[in-house]
Structure 1
Amino acid sequence: MEYVTRCGDEVPKLGVGTWQMDSATAEGAVSTALELGYRHVDTAQAYENEDGVGRAIADAAVDRGEVFLTTKVFPTNRSVSDIVASTEESVDQLGVDHVDLLLIHWPHPLADLETVMQGLNAAREQGLTRHIGVSNFGTDRLDAAREYSDAPIFTNQVLFHPWWPQRELLSYCQQNDIVLTGYSPLANGGAIDDDLLWDLGEQFGKTGPQVALRWATQHDSVMTIPMSTSREHLAENIDIFDFMLTRAEHDRVTRPSYLKTGIAMFKGGL
């Protein structure tokens, strides 16, 4: 495993995502992932599976302190008190006394960003989370969030895959010591049948999806959270740290495409 370091914490560059999983499915996926060696788990209030994720962590033969746990607050919580109360509900659902990272899930057009950041900071000050961050923020909004927050912004969680490499945003994050957490690193399945990825993987004895995940994790200050319910795919996803793409190979994988990204988002139901 490789790690990113932020705010004094080392966090695994690859975690398990739980989007589109019900509670029972998320419980099974996270249980399997922890058994396979994952120590980074991502959920959200919007996924409605925090209770299942919490059961998996509680039942695992892994100390809670070894698992970096992220959840995300509904953006409809727009006041400080609502954000704190909502976080308390998440912590209760998860069956933990705190999460490691708390994000606002996406910008709300009617929310005052300064108030939102105050809410996240208040949750941190009350011990409900160790770190705070944002999700689906562009550079301008991320810059404003940094200004409004007393605590460091740990991460910005955004769409990130070879056809949507987020170059400007990634550069901003790297320059300002913010981790970029990439979701949908396999482009909602669009990367599974990509010929270039499979051709590159052949020389390493790896699959095309493994190449896509390695592409993501070889970036500085990037971690990623692929989701899978299959033991085989969960094992495959974490088995990517024994090879390296060359700079030329890495550049070949990077192929920005609005068309492919749009198709992948449509298929994924976003």
Structure 2
Amino acid sequence: MRSLLLAVAWPVATAVPSVTLSNGVEMPMVAAGSWQYNSSTAYSSITSALKAGFTMIDTALDYHNQDGVGKAIAESGIPREKIFVETKVPGCGLDPSTMNVFNCYQATKRDLETDLKLLNLSYVDLVIVHFPPISSMITRSCNSWSGGCQMVRAQWKAMNEFYAEGKARAIGVSNYCPSCYDCLESSNPVMTRLPMVNQVQLHLGMGTDPEGFVSYHKAKGIQLQAYSVLGNSMTHHASSEILNGNLTTSIGKAHNKSSVQVALKWVISQGIPAVTKSSSSEHLKEDLDLWSWNLTTQDKQLMDAHRSPKGSPSFACNAAEAVLV
């Protein structure tokens, strides 16, 4: 249950602002997610999200629901170019055979095409590598001796080819660490196109520059996108502190907004797009009502300084390697 319910009628949906990626593509500031949804639930949720006014959808190959997401898009009646579709391919190593660099490259090419097939689309707006190679997650660094660097480069080669073929308007990564970018920048020949997006965990309680990820990515020209914006407990449920805590509920009460809206507002106020989700039509509408009001300076100061619940931008990175700008 959300901590507060709006007692007023829903306002007319405000156009969702966007950020400009390094290649000039405009990406909406909020996306309707589908993690943990099966195909049927994803179809229902995304259908509701599009009706509510969402213009961006987030899914992934390993969510096993892209057929439902694609069906919702196809039946929406909304022109394809008006919906920003983001999907993902897994990092190499989940299948042991893809620990081989050549197989990693081939599997990535296959998975990219599978995304299009399941979504029933000729292109996606953004596709990202869901996480670094498994060997890198074990060492918590994309180092060469684990084979991580070689696989990072192999996957990025496949991603660049997919992009060059016009099958994705933008390409990126998720849960990537500074050492993963080092692999790309030190490759031979040099990979001059860095990821356009890195989707990482970011929520209230982590501060405005957790482990230096925000300042680092700004310096690189890579747009961060936030997942788990309501916290990420071991049970994969939203944090009760964010949903019902004194800080979010008191600020929400002052603005006649829910605690969820307050938490989302804090993320996007930093210029970082957010992925949110709900199976409730009313909550989806609420998640879009983020631009008709503003946090006060005091609200922002209190939220910036808050340090609970804790979190790390990536489960795949060693915080010690995040020596940033």
Same fold (TM over 0.5): yes
Residue 157 (structure 1) aligned with residue 199 (structure 2)? yes
TM-score (normalizing by structure 2):
0.75
Q: Which has the higher contact order (CA 8 A, sep 6+)?
A: 2
The structure carrying a bigger strand percent of its residues is: 1
TM-score (normalizing by structure 1):
0.90
Shift of 1:38: 0.3
Shift of 1:140: 2.9
Gaps of 5+ in 2: 1-15, 93-97, 136-146, 232-236, 316-325
Do the aligned partners of 1:14 and 1:225 also contact (CA within 8 Å) in 2?
yes
Shift of 1:146: 5.4
Aligned equivalents of 2:252 and 2:226: distance in 1? 21
Residue 3 (structure 1) aligned with residue 18 (structure 2)? yes
Aligned equivalents of 1:143 and 1:42: distance in 2? 27
Partner of residue 171 from structure 2, selected from 129, 132, 151 = 132
Partner of residue 256 from structure 1, selected from 307, 311, 315 = 307
How many aligned residue pairs are there? Answer: 261
Shift of 1:164: 2.6
Shift of 1:203: 1.7
Partner of residue 281 from structure 2, selected from 231, 252, 255 = 231
Aligned equivalents of 2:179 and 2:39: distance in 1? 35
Shift of 1:245: 1.4
Change (3 A) 1:63 1:146: farther
Aligned equivalents of 2:107 and 2:310: distance in 1? 38
Gaps of 5+ in 1: 266-270
2:266 is aligned with what amino acid?
W
| Secondary structure of 1:115's aligned partner | helix
Cα deviation code 1:5-53 (max 9, x no counterpart): 1121222101111100000100111111011110011000110001110
Change (3 A) 1:5 1:184: same
1:53 is aligned with what amino acid?
V
Report the equivalent of 2:229: 185
Cα deviation code 1:70-92 (max 9, x no counterpart): 11101135632221111111100
1:4 is aligned with what amino acid?
V
Report the equivalent of 1:80: 105
Change (3 A) 1:146 1:251: farther
Residue 117 (structure 1) aligned with residue 132 (structure 2)? no
Superposed counterparts of 1:156-235, under 5 Å: 156-165=198-207, 166-167=209-210, 168-187=212-231, 188-190=237-239, 191-220=242-271, 222-235=272-285
Aligned equivalents of 2:222 and 2:298: distance in 1? 26
Shift of 1:246: 3.0
Shift of 1:141: 2.0
Partner of residue 35 from structure 1, selected from 51, 57, 62 = 51
Aligned equivalents of 1:192 and 1:240: distance in 2? 17
Aligned equivalents of 2:186 and 2:74: distance in 1? 37
